[in-house]
Structure 1
Amino acid sequence: MANDRLLYLDFIRVVANLAIILFHYNVWTERLVAADFLLVRNYTMLGEIGVSLFLVLSGASLSQSTKGDFDAPSFYRKRIRAIFPMFYLVYACFMGLALVFHQYQFSAERSPFAFALTLIGLDGLLSTVIPTYYLVGEWFLGCIIVLYLLYPALRYCFVRSDILTLALCCTVVLLLQNHYSFTFPLQRLPLFRIAEFVFGMFFLTRFTSNRPADHLLIALATIVLMVASTLDFPSLGAITMNMYGMVAFVCLAYAARFAPWKPLEPAITFLSRYAYPAFLVHHIILKQTLVASSRLIHSTVANLFVFVLVVIVVYSTAYAFDTVLAHLRQPGRIVGYIKATAGRRS
């Protein structure tokens, strides 16, 4: 049962990652090739649902990994180790290539503050309002980092009353939707995405209990979301897309939990394991791959072939970065490899 629970989270992680890659692939296809051969016409909606899936998944994954006794300092240390070493490695590599080939222009110029934003992973989140050195990943990585900072407080409230905590977070989102007036994009505001994050915590807690009453509660919550998202309430506004993401998460979770996915489990596990480095590198990889292969795209079928090629290159690059980081975390491996190589040469 535990493996099944992990598999459904892995499955959603893969779907969300591929949705984000497909979204940006369509963006660059339209810019570099033509709109005639797009794989998805309404790709903006695809990207927004992909972002929402990641936010819900983040809440669910944390709820899964922090069951039992909770220690905030230990939690923060684990999150730092999970996020920043790979982020720094990918960033340093692509920054080096950008400087060597003079192929990237940053909105910030010699700004220590902008560089500090990169060091803490908030460059993408703030790139629309201030100059930054944003290069890899996505804006919502910074959004997730902020929500991670809030997680101990959210968990404290959630453990005492999950329904009340979720209701309060939904109220915050509704208030922001109707009264927010600042220049920073509302959809990128971490507080505006807090309900999706807490919904992930709520879903994981109820879903894994296997009690019929909890599954019924999830079903009722999903029905409410589906009905509300189809009604023309001016007060909902941008929240509608967030609702679509939460409904999609529930549907994917049940599909992965109860469908016969065993034959695909190795592929799902592999793609999920390397989802984070793939997420970090996909922007640059898909753009460069499209530039190199744009002449091959003369039909939708050809475009699909190039997209599959892009996914292969993205995950191959992700695998390479993961391998390098694994060796860097164990310096003894590198020393042993150098000694072995020197021994063979002598």
Structure 2
Amino acid sequence: MKRIHYFDLLRCTCFCFIIFYHLLFQLYLSGICPVERLNPLFSNSNMHLATLGVAVFFMLSGASLSYTAKENFSLAKYYKKRFLRILIPFYILYIVYFLFLLFQSHSVHNIFPEGIPAWRIVFTFLGMDSWVSMHGISTFSLTIGEWFLGCLILLYLIFPLLRFFMIKSEKFFFIIATGIYLIVLFHYDFSVPIHMNFFLKGYEFVIGMMIGYYHEKFNPKWIFLSLPVVIFFVLCPFALPISTGLKITILAVAFWISAACLEPVLEKGNGRFLRTISNYSYEVFLVHHIIIYFITPRAIPYMRGMVGVLGLFLVELLLMAVLGFLLKFISDQCIAALSNLTAVENKR
């Protein structure tokens, strides 16, 4: 199947947005810089760099799955591949980070709150502990992958069902999805922030599915419509009188189309750089929070203005690259071993 180069571009861009935001926001949490000075670097009254990155990534997840599942879709192979690719790196990092915290604190009670029922470890096995914690339920979360990972895994679990209805009648499927989206959007009654809501992230996922299955390419002329929308959201001096959730969706779709229109240009290059970063993006995403949360507060005594901040960012980015590479290498070895084991078992 032909590789879609702008998928790689979007994946790299999304993770850069998210990591950049977390790098900056941790400066505020660590007392290095007031949030008022940081906010203009990643947000305004109409957009937020991290929520844009998350929204586009949910679209990208739906598009990638539906594009690769156009032909010869096997339910068993799908779930096996998703399990290995997503949960194995999560398990490895969770175990290593837990042992690290245990070595530091000398007690499990210093890592997790007391009184958590043992059965809730199942949320960790599913990779959803942080997402469940976001809804006020105590779990054994170490914040690896945060709410993002659990929400995405839920959508991966129901993807075959969504795909079935989409193929059955794409127009009816999209109308129903849009109806649910609008009801949730304009009658919002959830405790979680709107940009983390499962139904709204699910709608972005569905938009991506539709694009990946039916229309993965766009006429380059569309950029003359989409790019002005993106620029308007970034530069608009006043708050648009529409829902925050709707702003996120409109900007994410416009940003997607703008990137998609670059496909003819991207096809002319070899795409090796983007492909490499894209291949390691998930592992870097998993480790980046741990590195930022651990390094930034400890760097306070060495902060010397902007030079110190830039040096801190450089060190953290290098550590993300190294640990992301190691995590992927170890995960790939484990996945290969498990795949070989299953292949041997199937032959018996």
Give the TM bin, normalised by the shorter chain: 0.7 to 0.9
Measure, in 2, the Cα distance between the counterparts of 1:160 and 1:49: 31
Instruction: Give the aligned partner of residue 71 of structure 2.
Output: 68
1:149-176 residue CA offsets vs partner (Å, 9 max, x unmatched): 2211211222233344223212211101
**1:2 partnered with 2:2:** yes
Contact 1:59 1:201 in 2 (8 A): yes
Instruction: Give the aligned partner of residue 90 of structure 1.
Output: 93
> Which secondary structure does the structure 2 equivalent of 1:117 belong to?
helix
1:208-233 residue CA offsets vs partner (Å, 9 max, x unmatched): 467x6xx78x7799599879988945
Contact 1:48 1:241 in 2 (8 A): yes
Moved more, 95-104 or 220-229: 220-229
Moved more, 149-158 or 285-294: 285-294
Measure, in 2, the Cα distance between the counterparts of 1:219 and 1:147: 29
**In the alignment, residue 147 of structure 1 is paired with which amino acid?**
L
Measure, in 1, the Cα distance between the counterparts of 2:177 and 2:295: 41
Instruction: Map 1:286-305 onto structure 2 (within 5 A).
Output: 286-305=292-311
Contact 1:108 1:114 in 2 (8 A): no
Measure, in 1, the Cα distance between the counterparts of 2:146 and 2:313: 19
**1:246 partnered with 2:256:** no
How far off its partner does 1:97 sit? 0.4
Instruction: Map 1:121-140 onto structure 2 (within 5 A).
Output: 121-128=127-134, 129-135=136-142, 136-140=144-148
Instruction: Give the aligned partner of residue 328 of structure 1.
Output: 334
**1:155–1:90 CA distance, 2 compared to 1 (3 A):** same
Moved more, 295-304 or 134-143: 295-304
How far off its partner does 1:262 sit? 6.3
Instruction: Give the aligned partner of residue 24 of structure 2.
Output: 26
**1:157 partnered with 2:156:** no
Instruction: Give the aligned partner of residue 34 of structure 2.
Output: 35
Measure, in 2, the Cα distance between the counterparts of 1:245 and 1:233: 18
How far off its partner does 1:21 sit? 0.9
TM-score by length of 2: 0.81
Contact 2:130 2:145 in 1 (8 A): yes
Instruction: Map 1:73-222 onto structure 2 (within 5 A).
Output: 73-102=76-105, 105-107=111-113, 109-128=115-134, 129-135=136-142, 136-208=144-216
How far off its partner does 1:184 sit? 4.2
Measure, in 2, the Cα distance between the counterparts of 1:282 and 1:329: 22
Measure, in 2, the Cα distance between the counterparts of 1:307 and 1:264: 29
How far off its partner does 1:60 sit? 0.8
- Structure 2 segments unaligned to the other structure (5+ residues): 339-348
**1:47–1:109 CA distance, 2 compared to 1 (3 A):** farther
RMSD, matched Cα: 3.3
Contact 1:16 1:50 in 2 (8 A): yes
- Structure 1 segments unaligned to the other structure (5+ residues): 333-346
Q: Percent same amino acid at aligned positions? A: 24
**1:319 partnered with 2:325:** yes
**In the alignment, residue 26 of structure 1 is paired with which amino acid?**
L
Instruction: Give the aligned partner of residue 344 of structure 1.
Output: none
TM-score by length of 1: 0.81
**1:184–1:288 CA distance, 2 compared to 1 (3 A):** closer
Contact 1:39 1:303 in 2 (8 A): no
Moved more, 321-330 or 44-53: 321-330
